[in-house]
Chain A
Amino acid sequence: MTAETSGTAPEQAPVMLGIPSAPAPDFPPEVRARLDRDAESVLARYPQRRSALLPLLHLAQSEEGYVTPTGVKFAAEHAGVSTAEATAVATFYTMYRRKPSGDYQVGVCTNTLCAVMGGDAIFDALREHLGVGNGETTEDGKVTLEHIECNAACDYAPVLTVNWEFFDNQTVESAKALVDALRAGEEVSPTRGAPLCTFTDTARILAGFPDPRPGAVEAGGSGGAPSLTGLKAAKGEQA
Chain B
Amino acid sequence: MTSPQAPQSADGLLRPVLSECWDSPQSWTLATYRRFGGYRGLPKALAMPPDDVIALVKDSGLRGRGGAGFPTGMKWQFIPQGDGKPHYLVVNADESEPGTCKDMPLLYANPLSLIEGMAIAAYAIRCSHAFIYLRGETVPVLRRLHHAVQEAYEAGYLGENILGSGFDLDITVHAGAGAYICGEETALLDSLEGRRGQPRLRPPFPALEGLYACPTVVNNVESVASVPGILANGKEWFRGFGSEKSAGHGLFSLSGHVVRPGQYEGGLGITLRQLLEKAGGIRPGHRLKFWTPGGSSTPMLTEEHLDAPLDFEGMAGLGTMLGTRALQIFDETVCVVRAVTRWTEFYAHESCGKCTPCREGTYWLVQLLRDLEAGKGRMADLEKLDDICDNIFGKAFCALGDGATAPITSSLQHFRDEYEAHITGRGCPFDPAASTVWADEPSGAAG
Question: Given the complex of chains A and B, what is the CA–CA distance between A47 and B338 in angstroms?
Answer: 46
Q: Which stretch, A134-142, A178-186, A222-230, touches the partner chain B?
A: A222-230
Checking B16, B265, B436 against A118 with a beta-carbon cut-off of 8 angstroms, the contacting residue is: B436
Contact check, A95 vs B10: say whether CB atoms are below 8 A apart.
no
Determine the residue in chain B with the shortest Cβ distance to A113: B328
Contact check, A230 vs B191: say whether CB atoms are below 8 A apart.
no
Closest-CB distance, A36 to chain B (whole angstroms): 18
Per-position contact with B for A148-181: 1 when CB-CB < 8 Å, else 0? 1111111111100101111001011100100000
Question: Given the complex of chains A and B, what is the CA–CA distance between A231 and B129 in angstroms?
Answer: 34
Check A106 for interface membership: any CB of B closer than 8 A.
no
Q: How many A-B residue pairs have CB under 8 A?
A: 297
Report B-chain residues with C-beta under 8 Å of the C-beta of A48.
193, 212
Checking B20, B196, B255 against A155 with a beta-carbon cut-off of 8 angstroms, the contacting residue is: B255
Contact check, A47 vs B193: say whether CB atoms are below 8 A apart.
no
Contact check, A235 vs B7: say whether CB atoms are below 8 A apart.
yes
Contact check, B139 vs A222: say whether CB atoms are below 8 A apart.
no
Question: Given the complex of chains A and B, what is the CA–CA distance between A33 and B41 in angstroms?
Answer: 45
Q: Which stretch, B50-58, B99-107, B395-403, touches the partner chain A?
A: B99-107
Check A15 for interface membership: any CB of B closer than 8 A.
no
Check B339 for interface membership: any CB of A closer than 8 A.
yes
Per-position contact with A for B5-23: 1 when CB-CB < 8 Å, else 0? 0011110001110011111
- Answer whether A121 and B196 are a contact pair too, CB < 8 Å, given A112-B342, A165-B139, A236-B9: no
Report A-chain residues with C-beta under 8 Å of the C-beta of B338.
116
Contact check, A54 vs B26: say whether CB atoms are below 8 A apart.
no
Check A53 for interface membership: any CB of B closer than 8 A.
yes
Contact check, B23 vs A217: say whether CB atoms are below 8 A apart.
no
Check A17 for interface membership: any CB of B closer than 8 A.
no
Contact check, A54 vs B296: say whether CB atoms are below 8 A apart.
no
- Answer whether A232 and B23 are a contact pair too, CB < 8 Å, given A157-B255, A165-B140, A171-B446: yes
Contact check, A152 vs B104: say whether CB atoms are below 8 A apart.
yes
Question: Given the complex of chains A and B, what is the CA–CA distance between A194 and B138 in angstroms?
Answer: 12
Question: Given the complex of chains A and B, what is the CA–CA distance between A39 and B265 in angstroms?
Answer: 41
In the complex, besides A7-B213, A115-B342, A211-B146, 9 extra interface pairs with C-beta distance below 8 angstroms are A51-B192, A116-B330, A150-B96, A154-B261, A155-B255, A164-B139, A208-B175, A223-B108, A229-B260
Interface residues of A (CB under 8 A from B): 1, 5-8, 45-55, 57-58, 79, 81, 88-89, 92-96, 110-113, 115-118, 120-121, 125, 148-158, 161, 163-166, 169, 171-173, 176, 190, 192-194, 202, 205-208, 210-211, 216-218, 220-223, 225-236, 238-239
Interface residues of B (CB under 8 A from A): 7-10, 14-16, 19-28, 85-86, 95-101, 103-105, 108-109, 129, 135-140, 142-144, 146-147, 150, 172-180, 191-197, 200, 209, 212-214, 252-257, 260-266, 278-280, 296, 326, 328, 330, 334, 338-340, 342-343, 346, 349-350, 352, 432-433, 435-438, 445-447
